[in-house]
Amino acid sequence: MDRQTVERVARAAHIKLTEEELDRYSSDLSEILTYFELLDEAPGCENWGVNPIEVADVLRDDEPRMDIDPDQLLRGMNTYEGYVRGPRLS
Amino acid sequence: MSADAVLSKLKEINGKYSMFHAMTDDTSADGAKFLFSAKDNLTSKDMETCSGSKILIGYRPAFDATSIAKMREAGGKLIGKTNMDEFGFGTFSTNSGLEVPRNPYDLERACGGSSGGSACAAAVIEDHVSLGVSTGGSICCPASFCGVYGIAPTYGRVSRYGLIDYGNSLDKIGVLSAKATDLKKYMKVIAGKDEKDPTSCVQPDFKTDYRKMKSVAIPKEGTEGLSKDVETAFKDAVENLVRMGIDVDYVDMPSLKYAMPAYYVLATSEASTNLARYVGMRYGQQEGDLSLKFDDYFTSFRSQYFGDEAKRRILLGTFTRMVGFRDRYYAKALQVRKVVIDDYKRILADHDAVLAPTMPFTAPRFDDISKMSALDSYKADYLTVPANIAGTPHMSVPCGYDSEGMPIGMQFVADHWNEDVLFSMAEDWEKEFDIRAPEVGA
């Protein structure tokens, strides 16, 4: 993976890399992806899923309830007048 | 040693081994039935939970993970949160933003990862059980390196509610202990359906006849690339199994060589999306410059606080999910998972378990680990990732020691929902094999 691709991927992932990191990850990820070429020769199959076991939807009654007191959840957050503080949107 | 005596020496012991990131200040067990610890990616109300990452320093969860809550309900006292690789990203517990646990048999060596602190606690503290989490081998690897028993159950057997996700389709909560009987005892405590984790709701009950293991299959591909000491210890252990009356067959399992790349594609794909939530708001580190635009604010936190391996896995997982690469990597890896599962099912139709050494070598020294490339480290997982990608229950038991006295483990893999045969095997094996407990002193 060349430096430009690493930089593009990092931007998508919201990570800013130093020049040294760009070089290092470019080298590491190239080596790893070369090894992953093994997957090209691996047999494929039908009927594959995203979980190793069959998972069925399990629904509960749609009734509002409070599992955790919101005040407790807010206790560890940076808040202002009960709202979570965040950066500017624009 | 009594529970109170353990608590009175806890800080001293931790000073030597660094197994805990957070621990109780209590010096009395207050009548608890047993003491336990838990990997630091399981949320706990009374202790900071960081998952080995600097980005979560200061996070005090408002709720217990279901597995921790169940251990407390059974009379357990949580004494510490164990050190680990950041978010579980590692084979040696050295990829930590916090403290690195030291091997109980040689302080200059790693405990294995990523549940390294849990394995260390299980080996060092008398009558102790620790909850670990396995995504690609993170229970069995450290169990092997620290000379204890470790079990990762079928995917979905234990609720993942309160687990800080690494890979949602791979994460499994299990148990580590120096006593084989603890595996059954505490897995029964933490297993079960939980409406807060739908993947736990499809499970059948534990089988309770605890049938004996009668036959094992050893894949030829699982005995390649071993160190001489591991090869010798494994051979001796297999002879011991034969003496116990267990049939041993050697089989081909060609899909094993594809499991490692498939695992790293799936695990990093899932991790890169899970870690998108860590942006300097709501959890952990939140002291940033709020005048920044939101993209810059998020980027500044993630760049500053994620460690080297976390960034590498985020980059890898983001890349393999990108348009143009998704079919080649992610979709193919999902197909390989199915092929590996089918291979296990084929072999387990005629055998109770698939057997191989747990790790190809014994616990390496920290200076040797620092010379390994990322790919070298990934390759070290080739014996543990197949069962993890398949979601099949697997267990490491101590089976020997190398020429320098370092523990060696072997790993049994059973079919989905067949933990019972692993419990029986662990207890039978314990009668045949004497653990050389590490010399513990603070």
CATH number at A5 reads 1.10.20
Q: Which helix (DSSP H) or strand (DSSP E) does residue B178 occupy? A: none
- Cβ contact B337–A52 (<8 Å): yes
Any idea what the CATH number is for the domain that residue B343 is in? 3.90.1300.10
Segment 315-334 of chain B within 8 Å of chain A by CB: 315-316, 318-319, 322, 328-329, 332-334
Res. B65: pLDDT tops 60 = yes
- For B14, which DSSP code? H
Res. B357: pLDDT tops 60 = yes
Exactly one of B39, B70, B172, B184 is catalytic; which is it? B39
- Cβ contact A86–B294 (<8 Å): yes
Q: Is residue B114 annotated as a catalytic residue, yes or no?
A: yes
Residue A16 domain-assigned? yes
Residue B218 domain-assigned? yes
Residues of A in contact with B154 (CB under 8 A): 53
CB A25 within 8 A of CB B315: yes
Calculate how close chain B gets to A8, using CA atoms only, in Å.
9
Residue B18 domain-assigned? yes
Range of the domain at B403: 3-256+334-432
Which of B356, B379, B384, B410 lies closest to B144, judged by CA?
B410
Interchain contact B107–A (C-beta under 8 A): no
Between B287 and B265, the higher pLDDT residue: B265
- Cα distances (Å, whole numbers) of residue A71 to A68, A80, B43, B279: 8, 13, 18, 21
- Cβ contact B155–A52 (<8 Å): yes
Q: What percent of chain B has pLDDT over 70?
A: 100
Res. A58: pLDDT tops 90 = no
Q: What percent of chain A has pLDDT over 70?
A: 100
Tell me which residue in A15, A45, A87 faces B335 most closely, judged by beta carbons.
A45
Residue B388 domain-assigned? yes
pLDDT band at B72 (very low <50, low <70, confident <90, very high): very high
Calculate how close chain B gets to A19, using CA atoms only, in Å.
13
User: What is the domain count for chain A?
Assistant: 1
Interchain contact A66–B (C-beta under 8 A): no
| Interface confidence (ipTM) of the complex | 0.95
Calculate how close chain B gets to A74, using CA atoms only, in Å.
8
Give the pLDDT of residue A56. 83
Cα separation, B374 vs B376, whole angstroms: 5
Q: What is the mean pLDDT of chain B?
A: 96
CB B323 within 8 A of CB B255: no
Tell me which residue in A35, A54, A56 faces B261 most closely, judged by beta carbons.
A35
B212-236 pLDDT tens trace: 999 999 999 999 999 999 999 999 9
User: What is the domain count for chain B?
Assistant: 1
Give the pLDDT of residue B442. 56
Residue B361 domain-assigned? yes
Exactly one of B51, B93, B118, B138 is catalytic; which is it? B138
B166-203 pLDDT tens trace: 999 999 999 999 999 999 999 999 999 999 999 999 99
Residue B315 domain-assigned? no
Q: Is the peptide bond before B114 cis (omega within 30 degrees of 0)?
A: yes
B358-411 pLDDT tens trace: 999 999 999 999 999 999 999 999 999 999 999 999 999 999 999 999 999 999
Give the pLDDT of residue A67. 87
Interchain contact B292–A (C-beta under 8 A): yes
Burial class (CB in 10 A: 0-12, 13-18, 19+), B441: exposed
Query: Within 10 Å of residue A67's Cβ, how many Cβ atoms?
Result: 7
Residue B281 domain-assigned? no
Q: Is residue B51 annotated as a catalytic residue, yes or no?
A: no
Exactly one of B44, B96, B114, B130 is catalytic; which is it? B114
Range of the domain at A21: 1-42
Q: Is residue B272 annotated as a catalytic residue, yes or no?
A: no
Residue B40 domain-assigned? yes
Interchain contact B337–A (C-beta under 8 A): yes
Res. B35: pLDDT tops 60 = yes
Tell me which residue in A1, A15, A67 faces B319 most closely, judged by beta carbons.
A1
Residues of A in contact with B329 (CB under 8 A): 36, 39
Interchain contact A90–B (C-beta under 8 A): yes
Which of B230, B221, B216, B263 lies closest to B145, judged by CA?
B230
Place of tokens 């045969």: B421
Res. A90: pLDDT tops 80 = no
A13-33 pLDDT tens trace: 999 999 999 999 999 999 999
Cα separation, B209 vs B217, whole angstroms: 22
- Cβ contact B315–A15 (<8 Å): yes
**Smallest CA–CA distance from B321 into chain A, residue:** A9
